[in-house]
Amino acid sequence: MKKYTRYHLQLLLFLLSTISVFLSSIAFASCGGLDITLRKYHYEARTIIDEFEDCSIGSYHLIIKTPAGTVSHFTVQRDGWLQQMWVEPLDQSKQPAVILWLQNAGSGSYGALNVYVPSVKNVNVYTRTKIAPLPSTVKGYQGHDQYTVTDGSIYLSFPRYKPNDSSHCPSDGQALFKYDFKNKKWIEQ
């Protein structure tokens, strides 16, 4: 009976260690690479996440090619996965910006925008610009961000939470904000 029990204990320990290794490989899963290219307005934007990068954190490479053939390269640390990329003129500009929406891996699914715009000195060279985050003091804000870029504007929508709502059951409607480039802040719509 002791050998039978010892065998089962060893088998159980083996299975637990195998499951533990499997679960840790899921938690730090590789994305298998990502390569997205958008061509619009005679511009080309290409975003690459290396094959062995972690899905939720790491870096990305962005290459922007203008109609004049000028190329701007960026390698940027990221906290989250790439949700969407746009090539659109912003705020009445004639040259398009490149906008990347990143969504963090946490339960709040907070978003972040990385925006690349033509340089003031040379419109064929791109620079990264800051988009102010939505203040955490906004009524009912707990993440779950959704971004849209349309008609030269950036919009952010999210579900509003009442103080006693659970994280899965927002009950105070949907909020919509538009980014004000002049004043560098989000304006509720």
**Residue 130: per-residue pLDDT:** 86
How confident is the model over 36-94, as pLDDT tens digits? Answer: 999 999 999 999 999 888 878 899 999 999 999 999 999 999 988 899 999 999 988 88
**Residue 54: per-residue pLDDT:** 82
3-state secondary structure of 161: coil
Average of per-residue pLDDT across 148-159: 94
Give CA–CA dist 20/94, Å, rounded: 54
What are the φ/ψ torsions at residue 78 (nearest 5 degrees)? -135, 150
The residue among 146, 111, 150 whose CA lies nearest residue 131 is 111
Q: Name the pLDDT band for 2 (thresholds 50, 70, 90).
A: low
Looking up tokens 């490479």, which residue turns up? 61
**Residue 7: per-residue pLDDT:** 58
3-state secondary structure 67-136: CCCCEEEEEEEEECEEEEEEEEECCCCCCEEEEEEEECCCCCCCEEEEEEEECCCCCCCEEEECCCCCCC
**Residue 98: per-residue pLDDT:** 97
**Residue 21: per-residue pLDDT:** 41
Give CA–CA dist 117/51, Å, rounded: 27
Average of per-residue pLDDT across 141-165: 94
How confident is the model over 90-137, as pLDDT tens digits? Answer: 988 889 999 999 998 777 788 999 999 999 899 899 999 989 889 888
The residue among 132, 133, 153 whose CA lies nearest residue 143 is 133
Q: Which two tokens stand for residue 65?
A: 């090619």
Give CA–CA dist 98/102, Å, rounded: 13
Residue ranges covered by each domain of the chain: 29-188
3-state secondary structure of 19: helix
**Residue 135: per-residue pLDDT:** 87
Residue 167 near residue 142, CB atoms below 8 Å: yes
How confident is the model over 12-39, as pLDDT tens digits? Answer: 555 544 444 444 344 445 677 889 999 9
**Residue 168: per-residue pLDDT:** 84
Quote the pTM value.
0.80
Architecture of domain 29-188: Beta Barrel (2.40)
Give the neighbor-by-neighbor strand order of the sheet with 81-89.
81-89, 96-103, 111-118, 126-129
Q: Name the pLDDT band for 165 (thresholds 50, 70, 90).
A: very high
Give CA–CA dist 58/50, Å, rounded: 9
